[in-house]
Amino acid sequence: MPNSLPITKRTVTSGFTLIELLVVIAIIAILAAILFPVFAQAREKARAISCLSNLKQSGTAFYMYVQDYDETCLKMGSGADWWSLIYPYTKNLQVYYCPDRTDPGSQSSMGLSLGPKLPGYGYNWGPIGWRGGGLLGAQVPDPNNPSTSYIPGVTLAGITNPAQTFSFGDTYDTPRQTAGIGFSLCSYNGTTTSGLRHTGGHFNYAFVDGHAKAVIMKGGWLSGAENNRMVMPASQDLASYAYCADPSAIINLNPSSSDSMTAVPGGITCGSIPAVLNALGTCPAGAGPGSNCFWSN
């Protein structure tokens, strides 16, 4: 009987072909391209919400301060800044920072220090800085130190629309933060509204009555403003109240040489300043510093 050959079992291995691997890699790349911007937007939204929460806490503290001090708003000068005055109510220096502002710098007031980055919010000094109209009156000598001066706060009774008037909000101003039309873009070097601090060109603001909300803004060029840039609410109705304790109050030019925003005349009502600026229109192609117009996007 002849010897039979042994029967061997053949094994077959399976795996991805080169084409299949390339398809998988392509799918992963497509998903990454779709999801990464979504994750980035989610992170930015979280930062904006954190910023708004900080402003809400500060707005509540501001309202408590006003009630405790004979219904008088925060003063400025003589070693006091708005954030140090409301600190006894917030008990937390971190609420003065916006997660989306990383400009390096420091500030000290009333024995307190902020740093190593600048606070994200500014106080309402009025629409055109030193001309007034906001929550501050005229500069006067300090009765406790005649060699210096300070700017007293206005009374709550002098604010005609507390629910529509900013107390403070997002700003790029430095070194002392203000929330005016001509000061708020001091260190912003962009040329679009959409590039502002929060997605879609939003700024967060606290209002005199204590509430806070995100506001859609519009930015542009304004000769003589800080960094030659301006920003204000896109809604002219809100803008006409937002910076003015009394929109019908006459705002005159400041004799200071720093008052160089000549596109805005003196001797007009505070509430009409946004309308004057809106009349400047949209920037033509090629507009830059020295122009007076609003960016198209």
Q: What is the pLDDT of residues 210-259, one digit of tens each?
A: 999 999 999 999 999 999 999 999 999 999 999 999 999 999 998 877 78
In a domain, 99, yes or no: yes
Gap between the Cα atoms of 109 and 161, Å rounded = 30
| pLDDT value, residue 77 | 85
Residue 13 above 70 pLDDT?
no
Per the CB < 8 A criterion, the answer to whether 293 and 221 are in contact is: yes
pLDDT in tens, 18-44: 887 888 888 888 887 787 676 667 788
In a domain, 177, yes or no: yes
Q: If pLDDT is split at 50, 70 and 90, which confidence band does 3 have? A: low
In a domain, 117, yes or no: yes
Domain count, the chain: 1
- Residue 59: its H or E element: helix 18-68
Per DSSP, what are the bridge partners of residue 203? 215
In a domain, 97, yes or no: yes
- Say whether pTM exceeds 0.95: no
In a domain, 10, yes or no: no
**3-state secondary structure (DSSP) of residue 282:** strand
Residue 100: what are its φ and ψ, rounded to 5°?
Answer: -95, 5
What average pLDDT does the structure give for the chain? 90
- State how far Cα 54 lies from the chain centre: 12
Gap between the Cα atoms of 59 and 279, Å rounded = 32
Domain limits at 76? 18-294
Tokens 């994750």: give the residue: 39
In a domain, 8, yes or no: no
Residue 114 above 80 pLDDT?
yes
In a domain, 278, yes or no: yes
Nearest in space to 55 (alpha carbons), one of 155, 166, 159: 166
In a domain, 61, yes or no: yes
Q: If pLDDT is split at 50, 70 and 90, which confidence band does 163 have? A: very high
